[in-house]
Amino acid sequence: MTTITVDRARSNGTHPSPTPRLVELIGGPPPGAAAIEARGACAWFGDRLVLESVDLLMPAGQVTALIGPSGCGKSTFLRLLNRMHELVPGAALDGEVLLDGEDVYRHGRRAQEVRTRIGMVFQKPNPFPAMSIRDNVLSGLKLAQIKCHDKDGLVEQSLERAGLWKEVRDRLHQPGGALSGGQQQRLCIARSLAVHPNVLLMDEPCSALDPTSTRRIEETIGELRHQVTIVIVTHNMQQAQRVSDHCAFFLAEENEPGRVIEHATTTKMFSTPDDRRTLNYVEGRFG
């Protein structure tokens, strides 16, 4: 039995509660953030190599932003991390992806178990529109065959962690599709958090949202950063600076596959990068 301890915020949202809430999952992943690392990661679509030899460590309990122009392999790399790339017909891959030192592609490892430990939030909010808010949050447990003795407590906890509980607590049985775009995205975050992943991948989670919703998602990332490892793809350089601890700059030269040009702390990447191309990109000279 896995016991997850999560501190509740006080009513003013500024101080942790002295009384933690315990939610028990049976058969779920181990609790807490985990480091994830790519070693020599390559990806193909058919005969076309789209991503070549990516070596990148994304530290546990921190936010890593993947930046770079469109078409340089950022989203493909994100999908390599939780084995979604293999779902594309004709796709192929090489290299290793290590979750706390264990290769997620090792022989005999189930893809569903990997995707439970490494959750994904997509660019466009995708809650199940006819399913209730409550059932949306719990849907991942059924898919992963994880049992929970306190489903109501888990729903509340997950929505709190996603910053949505106060807005929807009186309408949990209404359809998730009735929420606003920003609320739907936070519902998708809550759905991913319900299975207690070690890593949360976010593929441009704010690109379809208004500034107010974007700010709320960024606040949610800040609140989650020490509970789960976050890897986010973003084209918004200001957002990358605001939310991330580390950055990796991807680039695909003409007729070449995407590669990581440079990775470092966010402060260094935006102030004194080693590669001139990185500086040109973060300063908006191309892309």
pLDDT above 90 for 63: yes
Mean pLDDT of 122-151: 91
- What pLDDT is attached to residue 8? 29
**Do residues 196 and 29 make contact, with C-beta atoms less than 8 angstroms apart?**
yes
User: In 3-state terms, what secondary structure has residue 179?
Assistant: coil
Mean pLDDT of 128-148: 91
pLDDT above 70 for 22: no
- Tens digit of each residue's pLDDT (9 = 90 or more) over 197-207: 999 999 999 99
Q: How far apart are CA 83 and CA 112, in angstroms?
A: 9
Tokens of 102: 């264990």
The chain-wide mean pLDDT, for the chain, equals 89
153: confidence class by pLDDT, cuts 50, 70, 90:
very high
Which of these CATH numbers, 1.10.220.70, 3.40.47.10, 3.40.50.300, 3.40.630.30, describes 2-9+21-282?
3.40.50.300
pLDDT above 60 for 19: no
Closest listed residue to residue 36, CA positions, set 67, 81, 68: 81
- Tens digit of each residue's pLDDT (9 = 90 or more) over 85-107: 999 999 999 999 999 999 999 99
Q: How far apart are CA 271 and CA 206, in angstroms?
A: 24
- What pLDDT is attached to residue 31? 72
- Tens digit of each residue's pLDDT (9 = 90 or more) over 27-60: 767 778 999 999 999 999 999 999 999 999 999 9
Q: How far apart are CA 44 and CA 172, in angstroms?
A: 42
